[in-house]
């Protein structure tokens, strides 16, 4: 389900436009809005494609979720929003399946780099909008998966004074609150100060979450530009984490309760991240505008957890009843530096309005990791079962009567590897040109990328050229047809470039052919978008099982290919002036078409790709009663059957949610129920020893908001 299709501009806006956009975001939070209800969730133009574009003049799909929908759904982290985007479903942690492919690339404010880094899911407190750019985006953003990419647009200071406080309480000992202050502090100088804290238990035994975000910003309006400075501190403390799944049988049935946890109560995943960002937006001339930004991220993650390593049938009755585990003690420190600048030049050529975007970006990421582990000994199971285990053993955990606390982490013989250093460097430059006649629009683009990866003593560098071609035919003022061809690439993991395994290898590549329809119908009360596409992803590495050189390392070969065919339909419409419905349907058939087995593609030719459902259907509907200051909202999410990485079935599921909102003057109260019918389900599957990721059972909360 998608609530709004297009985003507000990110690039090439002047300061007055930014202030107007911020005011618009404030206006739509009021329940008694003027105009149609559709304005609650529908965004305006988008610049995620480097050129500011309205819905009827886009050659690619950009799904956008605005702050009103985030608030109505009570969303706290990115996982709460995946159902709102056609073709996107959960894979693992912050990773998703997008148009059939695993996708983990995350951008903030148009810059590469994720302050949450991998196993921590992005929180939404300081996020104004979430954009998802669908399909290969190599020409626009460089290396990435062919399914698309996320861009989180953070909240910025504005001149309009705004103060907002929130308090939340709910099931699972959930409690928290936030405070946001925003406004002018001096002539043409604006500031934002905000803090958020929330804690709660989770549905997995011993597991809980505590999140703190401190977000600050300062902006200065210059004569022809706007300077914005931001600092954000993120802190997540997750007890009894990192969380894997719950074991299942081959038919996707959980072998035990979905609250089962493979971790000990003393395990944890703690994350700290500090982000500094500066941006400058403005005009050099009446025809030339620019948007430049730089960001530095300093991140640290510390983890102690028990990794499932073996499923055990202890008495030979054919039923798995124990899980063998190993202990992992990890410290990861990462620094990321991102820079990007985008220029837009407007002119006329061949009787058409011409816009040319050109610019470049740079990314450098460095990770120092100290990884330690204590594996269970080969005879630990026997000693445990004979009731003669040693204190230093990592005891297996029962699926039915978990014996937490019997194994003692402080007595493990932990072996640490030498500190591992990994570096990534990405440099890119691009040109994107648009020629717009009255009925036809032609878009062409090209990008050059240089990448350099190092891990320990292994290093590899190469370059790539990406292209994009798109066109639009406007049948009427309100109906247009579009088509595009574009490509993408991803460098192979630097460890796979070792000559001992057959490296170096060319990057994994992806191409798309897409066509679609964009229409505003019924006096602009309905926005309809339809697309059909085929994506081919090639050069996936496969393990050959052969060692022709006799060097003790089995060779890899780049022979894999996956083909993804799909259709997507997205609608947001008014039923009445006070009743809005947003819905999205996605059909996707992602199949392995070349290669078999191995590390690149885990299933066989002809099989569906892992965690890629054929059908998805999501909706969100809100009916408001302005005179009573009430609104009622209901949403649903259907995800078709999937396969895990090990080929185990992941059952289809449908989950419904509901909200009741009361708002009068400066007060707002929302009552929210998630998983209304308490459905037991798996969001996705991983490998058999780690199981499927269980969805959350029914939960509820009340949130009180006051604005002044």
Beta bridge partners of 447: 430, 466
* Class of residue 700 by CB neighbours under 10 A (exposed 0-12, middle 13-18, buried 19+): middle
Confidence of residue 43 (pLDDT cuts 50, 70, 90): low
Predicted pLDDT of residue 503: 75
CATH number of the 15-707 domain = 2.40.170.20
Mean pLDDT across the stretch 214-223?
A: 96
pLDDT > 90: percent of the chain: 61
Mean pLDDT across the stretch 529-555?
A: 82
Question: Any idea where the domains of the chain sit in the sequence?
Answer: 15-707
**Residue in 142, 91, 98 with CA at minimum distance from that of residue 121:** 91
Q: What is the pLDDT of residues 46-61, one digit of tens each?
A: 777 888 887 677 888 8
Predicted pLDDT of residue 555: 77
Predicted pLDDT of residue 410: 79
Confidence of residue 411 (pLDDT cuts 50, 70, 90): confident
Q: What is the pLDDT of residues 482-526, one digit of tens each?
A: 999 999 999 888 878 877 777 788 889 999 999 999 998 888 889
* Class of residue 665 by CB neighbours under 10 A (exposed 0-12, middle 13-18, buried 19+): exposed
Tokens linked to 276: 């500094």
Predicted pLDDT of residue 383: 63
Predicted pLDDT of residue 13: 38
Dist. CA 451–CA 430, nearest whole Å: 15
Q: What angle do CA 234, 239, 243 make, to 5 degrees?
A: 95
Predicted pLDDT of residue 31: 40
Mean pLDDT across the stretch 471-475?
A: 95
- Mean pLDDT computed over every residue of the chain: 87
Confidence of residue 17 (pLDDT cuts 50, 70, 90): very low
Q: What HEC string does 177-236 produce?
A: EEEEEEEEEECCEEEEEEEEEEEEECCCCCCEEEEEEEEEEEEEECCCEEEEEEEEEEEE
Evaluate if residue 1 carries a pLDDT over 50: no
How many residues belong to the chain? 708
Predicted pLDDT of residue 44: 67
Evaluate if residue 30 carries a pLDDT over 70: no
- Rounded to 5, what percent of the chain is helix, strand, coil? 10, 55, 35
Evaluate if residue 19 carries a pLDDT over 70: no
**pTM as predicted:** 0.90
Mean pLDDT across the stretch 171-193?
A: 96
Confidence of residue 334 (pLDDT cuts 50, 70, 90): very high
Predicted pLDDT of residue 388: 57
Cβ atoms of 629 and 588 within 8 Å: the answer is no
Cβ atoms of 357 and 342 within 8 Å: the answer is yes
The DSSP H or E segment spanning 68 is helix 67-72
Dist. CA 485–CA 620, nearest whole Å: 31
Omega within 30 of 0 (cis) for the link into 504: yes
């Amino acid at each position: 389900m998608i609530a709004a299709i297009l985003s507000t501009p990110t690039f090439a806006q002047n300061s007055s436009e930014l202030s107007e956009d911020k005011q618009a975001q404030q206006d739509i939070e009021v329940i008694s809005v003027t105009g149609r209800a559709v304005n609650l969730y529908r965004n305006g133009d988008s610049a995620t494609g480097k050129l500011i574009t309205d819905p009827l003049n886009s050659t690619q799909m950009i799904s956008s979720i605005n702050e009103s929908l985030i608030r109505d759904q009570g969303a706290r982290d990115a996982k709460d929003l995946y159902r709102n985007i056609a073709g996107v479903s959960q894979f693992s942690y912050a990773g998703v399946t997008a148009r059939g492919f695993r996708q983990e690339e995350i951008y903030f404010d148009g810059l590469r780099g994720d302050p949450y880094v991998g196993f921590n899911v992005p929180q939404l407190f300081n996020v104004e909008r979430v954009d998802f750019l669908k399909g290969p985006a190599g020409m626009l953003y460089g290396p990435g998966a062919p399914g698309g990419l996320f861009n989180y647009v953070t909240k910025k200071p504005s001149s309009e004074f705004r103060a907002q406080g929130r308090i939340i309480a709910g099931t699972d000992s959930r409690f928290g609150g936030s405070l946001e202050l925003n406004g002018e502090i001096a002539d043409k100088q604006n500031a934002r100060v905000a803090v958020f804290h929330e804690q709660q238990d989770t549905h997995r035994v011993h597991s809980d979450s505590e999140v703190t975000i401190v977000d600050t910003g300062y902006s200065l309006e210059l004569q022809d530009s706007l300077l914005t400075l931001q600092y954000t501190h993120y802190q997540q403390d997750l007890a009894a984490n990192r969380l894997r799944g719950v074991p299942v049988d081959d038919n996707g049935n959980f072998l035990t309760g979905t609250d089962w946890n493979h971790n000990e109560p003393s395990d944890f995943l703690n994350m700290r991240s500090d982000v500094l960002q500066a941006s400058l937006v403005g005009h050099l001339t009446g025809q030339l505008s620019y948007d430049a930004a730089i960001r530095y991220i300093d991140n640290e993650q510390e983890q102690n957890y028990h990794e499932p390593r073996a499923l055990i049938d202890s008495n030979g009755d054919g039923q798995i009843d124990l899980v063998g585990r190993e202990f992992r003690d990890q410290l990861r420190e990462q620094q990321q530096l991102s820079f990007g600048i985008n220029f837009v030049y407007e002119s006329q050529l061949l009787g058409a309005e011409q816009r040319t975007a050109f610019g470049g970006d740079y990314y450098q990421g460095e990770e120092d990791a100290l990884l330690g582990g204590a594996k269970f000994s080969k005879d630990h199971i026997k000693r445990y079962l004979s009731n003669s285990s040693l204190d230093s053993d990592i005891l297996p955990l029962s699926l039915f009567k978990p014996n937490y606390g019997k194994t003692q982490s402080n007595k493990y013989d932990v072996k640490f590897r030498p500190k591992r250093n990994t570096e990534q460097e990405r440099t890119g430059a691009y040109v994107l040109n648009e020629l717009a006649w009255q009925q036809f629009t032609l878009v062409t683009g090209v990008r050059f990328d240089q990448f350099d990866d190092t891990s320990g003593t292994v290093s590899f560098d190469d370059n790539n050229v990406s292209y994009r071609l798109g066109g639009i035919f406007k049948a009427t003022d309100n109906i247009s047809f579009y088509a595009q061809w574009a490509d993408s690439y991803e460098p192979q993991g630097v460890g796979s470039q070792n000559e001992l395994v057959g490296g170096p290898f060319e990057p994994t590549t992806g191409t798309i052919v897409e066509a679609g329809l964009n229409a505003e119908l019924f006096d602009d009360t309905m926005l309809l978008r339809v697309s059909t596409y085929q994506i081919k992803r090639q050069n996936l590495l496969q393990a050959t099982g052969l060692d022709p050189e006799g060097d003790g390392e089995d060779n890899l070969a780049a022979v894999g290919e996956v083909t993804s065919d799909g259709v997507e339909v997205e609608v947001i419409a008014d039923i009445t002036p006070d009743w809005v419905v947003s819905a999205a349907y996605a059909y996707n058939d992602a199949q392995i078409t070349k290669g078999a087995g191995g590390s690149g593609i885990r299933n066989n030719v002809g099989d569906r790709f892992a965690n890629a459902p054929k059908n998805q259907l999501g909706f969100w509907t809100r009916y408001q009663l302005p005179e009573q200051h009430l609104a009622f909202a209901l949403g649903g999410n259907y995800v078709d059957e999937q396969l895990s990485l090990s080929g185990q079935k992941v059952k289809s599921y449908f989950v419904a949610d509901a909200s009741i909102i009361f708002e009068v003057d400066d007060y707002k109260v929302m009552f929210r129920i998630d998983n209304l019918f308490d459905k037991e389900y798996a969001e996705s599957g991983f490998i058999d020893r780690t199981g499927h990721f269980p969805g959350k059972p029914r939960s509820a909360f009340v949130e009180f908001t006051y604005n002044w």
